Structure 1
Amino acid sequence: MSATNSIFKQGENCWATSQASFATPLIDCGNYYKALHSAILKAKHSIFIVGWDIDSRIRLLRGEDEANSEAPSVVSDLLAWKAEQNPDMKIYLLRWDSSLAFFAQREMWAKEVWDEKTPDNVLTELDDTIPMGGSQHQKIIVIDDELVFSGGMDISTNRWDTRDHPIESEERNGPDGPYTPLHDVQIVSAGPVVARFSELVRWRWLRVAEEKPITIREDAKTDIDAPLPEAWPEDFEPWFRKVDCALARTIPFMDEVEPVQEVRHMLLDLISEAERIIYIENQFTSRQEIAEALNRRMKEKPDLHVVIVSSYEPKGKFECEAFWAGRIEFKKILEKGVDPERVVMTYSSITDEHGQHATKRIHSKVMTIDDSYAVIGSSNISNRSMSLDTEIDMVLFGNNEENRREVARIRNDLLAEHTGRTVDQVAALMEEPNPVRALMEGQLAHGYVLTQVHDEIFTDQETGQNFFSRLSDPEEPLIPPLPTLGGEAMPIRNPRRRTIMIGIGVMVIAALAAALVIASHFIPWLSTDNINAFLEESRGTYFALPTVLMVYVVGGFFFFPVTVMSLAVSAIFGPIWGPLYGILGALLSSASMFGVGKVAGNAGLRKIGGPKVEAVDAKLKTSGIVGVAAIRMLPIAPFSLVNLVAGISSIGLMQFLVGTFLGMFPPMIAKGLVGDSITQIFRNPSPETISYLVGGIVLWGLMIWGSQKLAKSYQARKQQQVDKTKGEECVA
């Protein structure tokens, strides 16, 4: 075979045809992250990272590799370290903006986090150009315009795993806790094809960024005869050499961009070339058009066999009723009228000798056609990947005997991992008259095995499938483009992250306000008169203090004004016992709402706040007891809200309560005078009682004014200490 007889048709089933001087598949994330870490260390000029996600917290190295590395392992620390070492280097991070569906997993304030953690030569942008319902799904990293990583893997949570996929692993721990084994595939390439990826990442960057990226290096070594680039990762020998390849994209209808469906056309054309074995492993298989093409080709070629590997159990209702229900229909179409021993849809799982069980989550997007073609990309076999998401697949063509062997090696290596066999054993099975039957028979116990899927146990395909499919696996934007005055169509984009966060904040505030209004109107006892009456009945009894404490705690949960409660308690129990009962009630209410804030913060509210809240939190911790006391004296926020925010912050409970006592007890005494004076005026109006009231109000105002002066003085002293320390560090 030669390059001239490939099926690649530029402008139809691919964007570009090219060659890779060297290419190596990176199977599973442990290998990918290790290779990426090595390449970043060697980078000299530029790094472009385009992804569905780019999470600043991800550790690229684990175990001995991490312990023995002189460079940081966490990706944000690594890129900051690299950028500081070489101020002339430019690093560009382009991450998909909208992430409401993945609220718990993704960093909510990604741009702010990256901007804070990295120097100025690391530039971060959020891509909000994708139509409503679609996603930025390309996963590309270009280093020095000489090396490219592409495929199915992101720098994201719940991705890292090793090729042996142990049932349990301390390293497989994400935001929601431990996750099950996960499998994925990436490819690293060098040579002429890198120039096309360099064009693509810059085009993507210019669609959202005001600052133009640096131009493609004229001295970049990307000719077909160039040696391995300096940035090529250690410990990863090239599989392919001088291999013909093509790049196929999915680009949805966006502003001033014509949509393309090269991935869709490429997959259909590849299937039509198959003679003996099609191997597919993919996160999703819901595109019926692909099932129809496979079925049609199997009927045309009686010797053709199809093996598909995907995941076992769906995550959530949307995935179940969209993709798993879609997979049931995909399987029916695929197998219709075909010998069942020629085709199998499977998942990979393990049950060890101790009875522990695990199933492997498949996230890769791979297809091989005999020993002729291998696809490694970002595209799922789903509706959205064919038309709505941005995708990029690299298709390798076995243009000589050596590269055909490597195409077959990819298939055999992956099947070896999924079935607990060696690569040579799988290669022998593929030569059997019926490779599907040979593969499924004789699998060893206590290792990974392939099992045929039966998705009917997860869904009956009737519970709102169309609704869930339209939302999770659409072919077209959820909101169609709007016509403009000029007669053109304007696509509706996904809402920006900031818009989502502001909307959530407005809804939370509105819900809280509505709850308070409803409570004040429909809860008879939640009124000043009823609270006063309730407290009045307890005066002079053993239940006086417990009653006051209960009123403060319950009132705190309903955001009832603490000043009203304090004045009521002082009016009923007098200027001595009133402030004493009041401060005890305020402390108990503070502790209760602090606990609520602590639980809510651990559940995710601290994450939503992002780096800005972290900065406020740091100041609160630095100011400590005095800072809390100053906040308590100044009427700048509702009492219960301050308690909640303190719980979300990192300040300790005892610090918070001591600061609350120091800040509230003096004003509580003034409120006691005011509250008791109001009562005395009603009972016995006289110049003396009126003077007590005026004196209490003046004292209250003086305490507020004094607290402001104290807070400003304290902050000034703290700032002087910080400036002095910085100055000493600079001198040193």
Structure 2
Amino acid sequence: MSASASIFQQGENCWVSSKASYAAPLIDCANYYKALHSSIVKAKHSIFIVGWDIDSRIRLIRGEDEANSEAPSVISELLAWKAEQNPELKIYLLRWDSSLAFFAQREMWAKEVWDENTPDNVETVLDDTIPMGGSQHQKIVIIDDEVVYSGGMDVSTNRWDTRDHPVESEERDGPDGEYGPLHDVQAVYSGPLVKEFAELVRWRWLRVAESNPINFREDAKIKLEDGIPDAWPDDYEPWFENVDCALARTIPFMDEVEPVQEVRNMLLDLINQAERVIYIENQFTSRQEIAEALNKRLKTCPDLNVIVVSSYEPKGRFECEAFWASRIEFKKILFKDIDPDRVIMTYSSITDEQGRSAYKRIHSKVMTIDEKYLVIGSSNLSNRSMTLDTEIDTVYYGNDEHNSAQIARVRDDLLAEHSGRDVEATAVLLKKDNPARALMTGQLAHGYVLTQVNDEIFTDPSSDNLFRSLSDPEEPLIAMPTMDGSSMPVRNPRRRTIMVGLGVLIIAILGGLMFWASQAIPWLSADSINAFLEESRGTYFALPTVLLVYLVGGILFFPVTVLSIAVAAVFGPIWGPIYGILGALLSSATMFGVGKLLGNAGLKKIGGPKVDAVDQKLKSSGIVGVAAIRMLPIAPFSLVNLVAGISSIGLFQFLMGTFLGMFPPMIAKGLVGDSITQIFRNPSPETISYLAGGIILWGLMIWGSQKFARWYQERKQNKAKAEECVA
């Protein structure tokens, strides 16, 4: 085969056509992350990572690889380690500034986390230029301008898995616990193609960042004769050599950038080249145009078989009603007037010898056309991937006998994994007259097997589906008219904008509830509270009544100053402060407990690294810090209690700081407040001396409590240091 025989047409179905000196598929995430770790460790010049997500918590290597590595396994620690080792190394992280729909799945304060945990030569930028409803879906890593990783995988949660996909695995541990088997495909390249990827990621960086990225290396080893570059990952031999490649993109209309639908055009052109076997594995198959093209080609070529592998169980209502309902239509169009032995739409599942079952989640985006073409990319067979998201697919052309055989090897290897066979046996089946039917027969029990999808058990197709219009749109969800009569897509709101908006909304709701309570609840007023306390004065119920008032008042965010003055006025300068501090401590402990529950439920995640920083300061300052906050209140009493519960400070420290910070002011309110009242009623040397004595006592108690708090904190820290030295 000659390179000129390929269908690549720059500006039509691809952005550029080029060559990869070497290329290798990386099947499933354990292989990709291990290879990526190896290349990062070798980096000397620059690292670019562009992704739908770049999660700082991800461990790239596990098991023996992790135990034997001198480099950190967690990606944020690894990049920080590399950046500190080599201050000249430049690292650029470009992550999608995701929409509200993915808040639960991703680090909420990703940029702040990366900025906090890495040196200055690591730059992080969030891409907020995508139209509303779309996403930044390209997944690209470039090491030293010599090695590129691209395909379907992000450095993200719930991605890691090995090729054997065990039913259960302790290593498949995500934010919500263990997740099921997951399959994906990435690829690594070197050679001239790297320069095209480098141009793409720098273009994306310049669109959103305030700084210019480092220039492309003039001495980069990207010529065909340069051999395997230094940053090529250990343990991964190239499959392809000097293979013709094309890059096809999807770019939506954004900020006056002309939209590009090269992926869509390429896939349609590739389907029209098929003669014997089209193999597709894809996360979603919802684009009806693709189904129509496949059906047309099946009718044109009687010997053609189509094999599709995707997922089984939908994740959530949106995925079910958008993509699974659309897949019913896709299958109906694909099978129309076609011999069912020539077409299969399947999922891969297992029931092991212990009777445990699992369905393999397919996240990859792969297509092969006979032994002529191979696609490994980021694009799903969905509406959004063809028009609205940013995508990048690499298309290989079998330009010689070796590379053609490697395309068949990739297909056979993937199908072997999904159907529980070895590669050689799968290759034999693919050469039969009816390879689709052959794959479905003779599968072994207790291993992975292919089964025809039956999506009707989950949902049914709908001609007017709201979920589909939101989850799999072709156009931006919102567009604004411009002066020239056209329209401009509205961007997805920034994460920071969403968080600020949520914060304002929560404060408004709390404020509204407090105002409503003060107006609608007759007994929630200073006069009513005074009257309620008066009835208990002189009875055995005095203290329980005060405690109840503080407890209810704290829950309703009632001002603690009003409560303290009311208690001092009713019970006098001695018992008033005593009852008041006991009530304040009970209220503080209660709201502290509520904060602890809420913090464990996720408020720490919402707060992000800035809250973590405040948390550490509060924890380190301990009693002194709490006492200072109580003496000079900077936030409502109940809010401080909640935040303290979310923080890492201990309950004893918090209550001791609260006591030392609040008791002196309460005594002042009892003595000074009562003295001022008496001066107005009956001015005399006695009442004036009470006032002076109260002010002096207040100052002495503030000074004494601060001294005690500092002494206690220093004693605790010195004890901790002594224990550390002994250890």
Place the TM-score, normalised by the shorter chain, in its bin: over 0.9
- Are the equivalent residues in 1 in contact too, given 2:589–2:641 (CA < 8 A)? yes
The C-alpha deviation readout for 1:230-289, integer Å capped at 9, x for no partner, is 111000011111111110000111113111000000011111111111111111111111
Tell me the TM-score normalised to structure 2 length: 0.94
Tell me, what secondary structure is at the counterpart of 1:207?
Answer: helix
The C-alpha deviation readout for 1:485-518, integer Å capped at 9, x for no partner, is x666543211112211111111111111111111
CA distance in 2, matches of 1:312, 1:177: 20
The C-alpha deviation readout for 1:96-141, integer Å capped at 9, x for no partner, is 1133211122122222221221111111111111111111110001
Aligned-partner residue type, residue 113 of structure 2: V
- Are the equivalent residues in 2 in contact too, given 1:593–1:647 (CA < 8 A)? yes
Aligned-partner residue type, residue 626 of structure 1: V
Tell which deviates more after alignment, 308-317 or 24-33.
308-317
Tell me, what secondary structure is at the counterpart of 2:14?
Answer: coil
TM-fit CA distance, 1:81: 1.1
- Structure 2 counterpart of 1:507, from 492, 505, 508: 505
1:636 is the counterpart of 2:637: no
CA distance in 2, matches of 1:365, 1:675: 74
CA distance in 2, matches of 1:125, 1:338: 49
TM-fit CA distance, 1:699: 5.9
Structure-1 residue corresponding to 2:474: 475
TM-fit CA distance, 1:576: 2.8
Structure-1 residue corresponding to 2:358: 358
Tell me, what secondary structure is at the counterpart of 1:88?
Answer: coil
Structure-1 residue corresponding to 2:607: 609
CA distance in 2, matches of 1:692, 1:449: 92
Tell which deviates more after alignment, 530-539 or 222-231.
530-539
Compared with structure 1, are the counterparts of its residues 375 and 699 closer, same or farther at alpha carbon in structure 2 (3 Å cutoff)?
A: farther
Tell me the TM-score normalised to structure 1 length: 0.93
Pairing of 1:529-568 with structure 2 (within 5 A): 529-568=527-566
- Are the equivalent residues in 2 in contact too, given 1:146–1:194 (CA < 8 A)? yes
Structure-2 residue corresponding to 1:729: none
Aligned-partner residue type, residue 334 of structure 2: L
- Are the equivalent residues in 2 in contact too, given 1:605–1:648 (CA < 8 A)? yes
- Are the equivalent residues in 2 in contact too, given 1:667–1:700 (CA < 8 A)? no
- Are the equivalent residues in 1 in contact too, given 2:374–2:396 (CA < 8 A)? yes
Count of aligned positions = 716
Compared with structure 1, are the counterparts of its residues 637 and 692 closer, same or farther at alpha carbon in structure 2 (3 Å cutoff)?
A: farther
Pairing of 1:263-342 with structure 2 (within 5 A): 263-342=263-342
Structure-2 residue corresponding to 1:671: 669
1:115 is the counterpart of 2:115: yes
Compared with structure 1, are the counterparts of its residues 704 and 563 closer, same or farther at alpha carbon in structure 2 (3 Å cutoff)?
A: farther
CA distance in 2, matches of 1:70, 1:503: 44
Tell me, what secondary structure is at the counterpart of 1:258?
Answer: coil
- Are the equivalent residues in 2 in contact too, given 1:634–1:704 (CA < 8 A)? no
Structure-2 residue corresponding to 1:728: none
CA distance in 1, matches of 2:697, 2:390: 62
TM-fit CA distance, 1:677: 5.8
Compared with structure 1, are the counterparts of its residues 151 and 693 closer, same or farther at alpha carbon in structure 2 (3 Å cutoff)?
A: farther
The C-alpha deviation readout for 1:576-611, integer Å capped at 9, x for no partner, is 332222222111111111111112112222122222
Structure-1 residue corresponding to 2:73: 73
1:150 is the counterpart of 2:150: yes
TM-fit CA distance, 1:693: 8.2
Structure-1 residue corresponding to 2:493: 495
CA distance in 2, matches of 1:406, 1:306: 20
Structure-2 residue corresponding to 1:466: 465
Structure 2 residues without counterparts, runs of 5 or longer = 722-727
Aligned-partner residue type, residue 297 of structure 2: R
Aligned-partner residue type, residue 583 of structure 2: G
TM-fit CA distance, 1:679: 8.4
Compared with structure 1, are the counterparts of its residues 541 and 20 closer, same or farther at alpha carbon in structure 2 (3 Å cutoff)?
A: same
CA distance in 2, matches of 1:490, 1:79: 38
CA distance in 2, matches of 1:424, 1:239: 17
TM-fit CA distance, 1:539: 3.0
CA distance in 2, matches of 1:699, 1:280: 83
TM-fit CA distance, 1:290: 0.6
The C-alpha deviation readout for 1:201-240, integer Å capped at 9, x for no partner, is 1111111112111211121111122211111100001111
Structure-2 residue corresponding to 1:442: 442
Tell which deviates more after alignment, 701-710 or 513-522.
701-710
Aligned-partner residue type, residue 181 of structure 1: P
CA distance in 1, matches of 2:571, 2:343: 84
Structure-2 residue corresponding to 1:623: 621
- Are the equivalent residues in 2 in contact too, given 1:671–1:696 (CA < 8 A)? no
Compared with structure 1, are the counterparts of its residues 356 and 698 closer, same or farther at alpha carbon in structure 2 (3 Å cutoff)?
A: same
1:591 is the counterpart of 2:589: yes
Structure-1 residue corresponding to 2:96: 96
Compared with structure 1, are the counterparts of its residues 699 and 502 closer, same or farther at alpha carbon in structure 2 (3 Å cutoff)?
A: farther
- Are the equivalent residues in 1 in contact too, given 2:80–2:119 (CA < 8 A)? yes
Structure-2 residue corresponding to 1:218: 218
The C-alpha deviation readout for 1:618-651, integer Å capped at 9, x for no partner, is 1111111111111111122111011011111111
Aligned-partner residue type, residue 397 of structure 2: F
TM-fit CA distance, 1:477: 0.7
Aligned-partner residue type, residue 378 of structure 2: S
Aligned-partner residue type, residue 645 of structure 2: G
TM-fit CA distance, 1:165: 1.0
Aligned-partner residue type, residue 538 of structure 1: S
CA distance in 1, matches of 2:223, 2:86: 27
Compared with structure 1, are the counterparts of its residues 78 and 289 closer, same or farther at alpha carbon in structure 2 (3 Å cutoff)?
A: same
Structure-2 residue corresponding to 1:15: 15
Runs of 4+ aligned residues of structure 1 deviating over 6 Å after TM superposition are: 678-682, 707-711
TM-fit CA distance, 1:466: 2.3
The C-alpha deviation readout for 1:424-467, integer Å capped at 9, x for no partner, is 111111122221121112221111111221222222345x9621
Compared with structure 1, are the counterparts of its residues 446 and 490 closer, same or farther at alpha carbon in structure 2 (3 Å cutoff)?
A: same
TM-fit CA distance, 1:77: 1.1
- Are the equivalent residues in 2 in contact too, given 1:680–1:689 (CA < 8 A)? no
Compared with structure 1, are the counterparts of its residues 287 and 192 closer, same or farther at alpha carbon in structure 2 (3 Å cutoff)?
A: same
Compared with structure 1, are the counterparts of its residues 542 and 302 closer, same or farther at alpha carbon in structure 2 (3 Å cutoff)?
A: farther
Structure-2 residue corresponding to 1:387: 387
Structure-1 residue corresponding to 2:725: none
- Are the equivalent residues in 2 in contact too, given 1:111–1:126 (CA < 8 A)? yes
Compared with structure 1, are the counterparts of its residues 533 and 681 closer, same or farther at alpha carbon in structure 2 (3 Å cutoff)?
A: farther
Compared with structure 1, are the counterparts of its residues 477 and 386 closer, same or farther at alpha carbon in structure 2 (3 Å cutoff)?
A: same
Structure-2 residue corresponding to 1:53: 53
Structure-1 residue corresponding to 2:724: none
CA distance in 1, matches of 2:457, 2:705: 65
CA distance in 1, matches of 2:270, 2:458: 32
CA distance in 1, matches of 2:543, 2:444: 72
Compared with structure 1, are the counterparts of its residues 410 and 696 closer, same or farther at alpha carbon in structure 2 (3 Å cutoff)?
A: farther
- Are the equivalent residues in 1 in contact too, given 2:661–2:705 (CA < 8 A)? no
Compared with structure 1, are the counterparts of its residues 710 and 19 closer, same or farther at alpha carbon in structure 2 (3 Å cutoff)?
A: same
Aligned-partner residue type, residue 129 of structure 1: T
Compared with structure 1, are the counterparts of its residues 456 and 542 closer, same or farther at alpha carbon in structure 2 (3 Å cutoff)?
A: farther
Tell which deviates more after alignment, 450-459 or 56-65.
450-459
- Structure 1 counterpart of 2:516, from 518, 539, 545: 518
CA distance in 2, matches of 1:547, 1:182: 59
TM-fit CA distance, 1:707: 9.1
Aligned-partner residue type, residue 652 of structure 2: M
Tell which deviates more after alignment, 421-430 or 529-538.
529-538
CA distance in 2, matches of 1:710, 1:372: 81
TM-fit CA distance, 1:673: 2.9
CA distance in 2, matches of 1:681, 1:165: 82
CA distance in 2, matches of 1:83, 1:36: 16
Identity %: 74
CA distance in 1, matches of 2:186, 2:261: 22
Structure 1 residues without counterparts, runs of 5 or longer = 726-732
